[in-house]
Amino acid sequence: MRVLVVDDEEKIRNVIKEYAEFEGYEIDEACDGMEAIVKCKNGEYDIIIMDIMMPKLDGFSSIKEIKKIKDIPVIMLSARSEEYDKLFGFEIGIDDYVVKPFSPKELMARINAVITRSKAGASNTTQQEKYVFEGLEVDMLGRNVYVDGVKKELTPKEYELLQYFILNKNIALSREKILNEVWGYDFFGEDRTVDTHVKMLRNNLEKYRDKIVTVRGMGYKFEE
C-alpha cells in the first residue's frame, strides 16, 4: 500500500511516515500541492494525506486537479476546524478531514478505515456495473449519471451517496449510518450534512428525485 503525504512541514511528514511505515505502508512525500500533482501523474497511490495551507498551491486546489486524472482516496489535514472548510473538502471529493494537532494513532485508524471502505466500494461496484430505472441510468464503473440521456454533473460525494443508496435500495438508512458509511470513520458531521447533500442529489435527479424517500425521524431510503 502506497501513501502520498503532502505537507510543507517536514516534522509532520516525518511523524506520519514513522507511524505509517510501522504499519507496513510505503511512503512517498511532497512539500506542496504542485509537487503532489506531478507525483500523482507519474505514480500510483492507495491514499493521499493532504495539508490545506501550503505554498505554491493549496490542498483544495491540488485535490481538484488530482481528481481530474485519478480517483484516489484523500484525507485532508488542516489547522483550521471551520465547518465550511470541512464541507467544501467533502464536496470536492475528500474522504476524511483531520484537524491539527492530531493523534498519529487516530490518523492511522482513519487511513485504514478509508482504504478498507474504498476497497469495499470497488468490490460492490464490480458486482453491479450499472443501475437503470426508466430514464435514470447510473454507470457504476464510469461514475456517470444520466437523466433521460442527459449527463448530470454530480460532485464526488453526491455520486458516492447515490451509489450507497442504490447498493442498499429499499433499506431504511439512518443519517448516522449514512455519515459513517459515505463520509467515513468517526466523521464530525451533523444530520444537516446528509440533508444538504440529499437535497443537492435530488435536484440533480430531477423527476426521479422521489426515489430518495425521507424516513421520518430516521433518515432516508432509496425505493425501487
Residues present in the chain in total: 224
- Give the tens place of pLDDT for each residue, 176-208: 888 888 876 555 556 678 898 999 999 999 999
What CATH number has the domain bearing residue 165? 1.10.10.10
Which of 123, 151, 180 is at the close of a domain? 123
- Per-residue pLDDT, 145: 93
**203 plus 119 within the same structural domain:** no
Query: For residue 74, what are the domain limits?
Result: 2-123
- Per-residue pLDDT, 82: 74
**164 plus 59 within the same structural domain:** no
- Give the tens place of pLDDT for each residue, 142-157: 888 999 999 998 888 8
Residue 126 pLDDT greater than 80, yes or no: no
> 173 or 193: whose pLDDT is higher?
173
**71 plus 109 within the same structural domain:** yes
Number of domains in the chain: 2
- CB neighbours of residue 203 within 10 Å: 11
Q: What is the mean pLDDT of residues 171-177?
A: 90
- Give the tens place of pLDDT for each residue, 83-117: 778 778 888 888 888 888 899 999 998 898 888 77
**10 plus 33 within the same structural domain:** yes
**75 plus 54 within the same structural domain:** yes
Of 45-49, 61-65, 171-175, 176-180, give the lowest mean pLDDT range: 176-180
- Per-residue pLDDT, 79: 82
Per-position DSSP letters for the chain, written without gaps between them: -EEEEE-S-HHHHHHHHHHHHHTT-EEEEESSHHHHHHHHHHS--SEEEEESS-SSS-HHHHHHHHHHH----EEEEES---HHHHHHHHHTT-SEEEESS--HHHHHHHHHHHHHHHHHHHHHHHH--EEEETTEEEETTTTEEEETTEEE---HHHHHHHHHHHHTTT--EEHHHHIIIII-TT----HHHHHHHHHHHHHHHGGGGGGEEEETTTEEEE--
Q: Would you give the distance in Å from CA 9 to the centre of its chain? A: 24
Q: Do 48 and 27 contact (CB within 8 A), yes or no? A: no
**165 plus 70 within the same structural domain:** no
